[in-house]
Copies of this chain bind each other. A is one copy, B any other.
Amino acid sequence: MNDSRDFCLQFTVRDYECDMQGIVNNAVYQNYLEHARHEYLKSRGLDFAALTAQGIDVMVIRAELDYRRALRSADQFEVSVGVERQSRLRLRFRQRIIRQPDAQLILDAVFICAAVGGDGRPFFPAQLAVLLEEDS
């Protein structure tokens, strides 16, 4: 189960996301996961597009994806997002894809992210600190 405090976003598989095996192509899961992370940021008052426009590039530096089962055409699923501090400059996103309504685990993932400023140097933007506060 997803941690009850985690952010969750609902999706439905679109046919163009399936490949010739009739299942969602591996790369497409990264699209789902990225979209859920960006929506999670918005839910905490952060906008990825606005950060980019301000010269703050939040970047994935490592991804680990464990593919458990495949999604197929029209499958409904939710993507969860949890976050914690990995190190002084790095955030660690934990994500899961859970098929609905049968709650089958489809994919487990971890994304390590860091931010780079306009000068190309890594830093921890003050804006991201909000992600590490306890939910009230």
Contacts and interface: CB of A to CB of B under 8 A. Distances in A.
A28 B26 contact: no
A66 interface: yes
Contacts of A124: none
A48 B16 contact: no
Q: In the complex, which range does the number of interface residues on chain A fall in?
A: 35 or more
A15 B49 contact: yes
A60 B26 CA distance: 8
Contacts of A68: 61
A28 B26 CA distance: 10
Interface of A: 14-16, 18-22, 25-28, 30-31, 34-35, 38, 42, 47-49, 52, 57, 59-68, 70, 72-74
